[in-house]
């Protein structure tokens, strides 16, 4: 979304206020061109013989978004059997789906095998059982590289005490299982966290992965995960993808020469692809003056966008209805019976009841983490593409809340 000639406009010149008139509030809006821009930027950054971009779909799973990203040439990373089923419904071939579960019952892994997708395992008991039952099916292994990286402890997943992955120090145990069962290890995988700013954190993880890879001569790919930081505010810092691409491409190309053949470099961006594409539009219900604070209460809450409360995440907020008004200091709060504060002491152009506010960077881990808390209904979703708006998810109704309940009285 850009500010031009006194108005905020979405790609194709679409006025977001018109979308609220058309589809109601609150409303999630996604700009397809932004997703495509991010995809092409990432693809251009890495100069290797074989490169694959695999969308980490937990960030945003709307079926229309999945289909659009597939059209760009992406494969897909799924963390649950339900995401696998959605990916297949969106048209991804099983070979282009990597299933990366954590702590699931083995029956879910068996279901993924039956669907024919690639399997990525992150614990030794699962690898042992898989080798006993499916020794003929290649697997990928998720490595814990013992690297603390990311913007928040809750989103740092590659450190030594993380539940995710197999410690690189435990790989001799994996090697023993492979030798006993005859299983092929087709890939190595890591993911160290989210909002990682420093390219050197990725390089450190890559060093661990490439050093391990020397012991496995039959690899098809190495998946370096993602976690790239995107800007959340004007002049905010972000991961220098081009710098990372230059450094890691050189390192990877040297490895492939020493390995004796080219294997595939894989990245699995989620937030990087969809975060900046999303805008969450809400309407102000009330402006409440406290003793020391002015509250702008909106028609949404942590049931729709929980990241500020869950991760202390920052989302820039614009007043679409009065973009050039005199700024005042507000706490923007929700309508949930909890402390659901979107922003504290934020300078925003003067807000009045009925104004439409935009929470930017609302494409990743926003709708996908939404709930029906307080029996509130989830909002609609709209996709902007080539100057047109498309409803891609209907707003929930009260009937949806009762749909699966069983009245026994």
Extract the annotated binding site for substrate. 307, 311, 338, 365
Enumerate the β-bridge partners of residue 284: 298
* 276 contacts 42 by C-beta, under 8 angstroms: no
Contacts of residue 161, Cβ cutoff 8 Å, sequence gap at least 6: none
| Catalytic residue (choose from 78, 256, 337, 366) | 337
Which residues are known binding-site members? 227, 307, 311, 338, 365
Is 337 a catalytic site residue? yes
Which residues are known binding-site members for pyridoxal 5'-phosphate? 227, 365
CA nearest 235: which of 316, 324, 331, 332?
316
Strands 166-167 and 139-144: parallel
- Could you list the active site residues? 337
């Amino acid at each position: 979304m850009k500010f031009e000639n006194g108005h905020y406009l979405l790609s194709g010149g679409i006025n977001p206020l018109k979308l609220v008139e058309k589809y109601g509030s609150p409303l999630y809006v996604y700009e397809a061109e932004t997703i495509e821009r991010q995809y092409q930027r990432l693809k251009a950054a890495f100069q290797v013989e074989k490169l694959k971009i695999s969308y980490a779909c937990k960030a945003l799973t709307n079926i229309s978004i999945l289909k659009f990203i597939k059209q760009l040439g992406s494969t897909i990373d799924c963390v649950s059997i339900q995401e696998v089923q959605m990916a297949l419904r969106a048209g991804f071939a099983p070979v282009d789906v990597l299933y990366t579960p954590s702590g699931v019952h083995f029956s879910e892994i068996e279901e993924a095998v039956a669907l024919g997708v690639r399997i990525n395992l992150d614990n030794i008991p699962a690898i042992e059982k898989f080798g006993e039952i499916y020794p003929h099916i290649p697997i990928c292994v998720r490595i814990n590289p013992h690297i603390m990286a990311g913007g928040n402890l809750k989103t740092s997943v590659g450190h030594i005490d993380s539940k995710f992955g197999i410690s690189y120090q435990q790989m001799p145990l994996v090697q023993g299982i492979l030798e006993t069962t005859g299983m092929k290890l087709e890939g190595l995988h890591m993911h160290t966290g989210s909002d990682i700013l420093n390219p050197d954190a990725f390089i450190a993880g890559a060093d661990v992965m490439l050093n391990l890879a020397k012991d496995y001569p039959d690899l098809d790919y190495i998946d370096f995960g993602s976690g790239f930081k995107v800007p959340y505010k004007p002049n905010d810092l972000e991961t220098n993808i081009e710098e990372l691409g230059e450094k890691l491409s050189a390192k990877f190309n040297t490895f492939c020469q020493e390995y004796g053949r080219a294997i595939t470099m894989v990245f699995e961006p989620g937030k990087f692809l969809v975060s900046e594409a999303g805008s969450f539009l809400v309407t102000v219900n009330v402006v409440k003056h406290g003793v020391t604070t002015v509250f702008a209460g909106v028609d949404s809450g942590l049931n729709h966008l929980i990241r500020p409360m869950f991760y202390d995440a920052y989302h820039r907020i614009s007043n679409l209805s009065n973009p050039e008004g005199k700024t005042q200091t507000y706490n923007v709060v929700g309508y949930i019976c909890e402390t659901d504060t979107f922003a504290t002491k934020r300078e925003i152009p003067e807000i009045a009841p009925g104004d439409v506010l935009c929470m930017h960077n609302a494409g990743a881990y926003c709708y996908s983490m939404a709930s029906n808390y307080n029996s509130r209904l989830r909002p609609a979703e709209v996709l902007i593409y080539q100057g047109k708006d498309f409803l891609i998810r209907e707003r929930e109704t009260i009937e949806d809340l009762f749909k699966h309940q069983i009245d026994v009285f």
